[in-house]
A and B are shown apart, each in its own frame.
Chain A
């Protein structure tokens, strides 16, 4: 899929006034949530909501298409859930949103339509309703 242009939202606030959310495609989920579906070769276009105050020990990774053994040891290399609070404490950003979101990469075929038309816009709307100003997206 190729695009000729890019969407654009001008950053019109100082970072110290901004609320930050994280989005990863690394297949992160809470222990209590169903893992991403690895049996469908076209992937899984659903998402999981990750509370910002979740402990790293509450988080698991279900993603068979990359080696996540290091991220299993320290989730911050994939979803920097603790580091963003360090940024807030240091005054780099204004606030951390109360939730982040996780997808699974490797989404193919008909699931791309589901991602574009349904699940990605749904997460975007949720973040907007949270008054999030800025988002950092991390791949696997």
Chain B
């Protein structure tokens, strides 16, 4: 996926991805990535968990704005998603 991300960033689009493996992501060096510790097949939470899905997306947008160094991989503890979901139970 990092190879695709690199191509998209190359044409002038700001990108961010979810990393399921920091080791692989670290080798491919996409411009911005966030590691939520997600399980395979569950990059954006679980079925029906709308608030958590929105929180994952909002955290991605937050780091899309905040990351300043190319190749950064941000580690996010699951509690950050928990806290966000509690604060925004349905939507923003």
Interface of A toward B, CB cutoff 8 Å: 1-11, 15, 21, 23, 25, 66-71, 73-74, 76-78, 80, 83-84, 86-87, 89-93, 103, 105, 112, 115-116, 120-121, 123-125, 127-128, 132-140
Chain A residue contacts of B13, Cβ below 8 A: 9, 21, 124, 127-128, 132-135
Give the shortest distance, in Å, between B27 (CB) and chain A (any CB).
4
- Please report the C-alpha to C-alpha distance between residue A105 and residue B3 in the assembled complex, in whole angstroms: 11
Interface residue count on the B side (C-beta < 8 Å)? 47
The answer to whether A137 and B16 touch across the interface, beta carbons within 8 angstroms, is yes
Give the shortest distance, in Å, between A13 (CB) and chain B (any CB).
9
Interface of B toward A, CB cutoff 8 Å: 1, 3-20, 27-31, 40-50, 53-54, 57-58, 60-61, 64-65, 70-71, 91-92
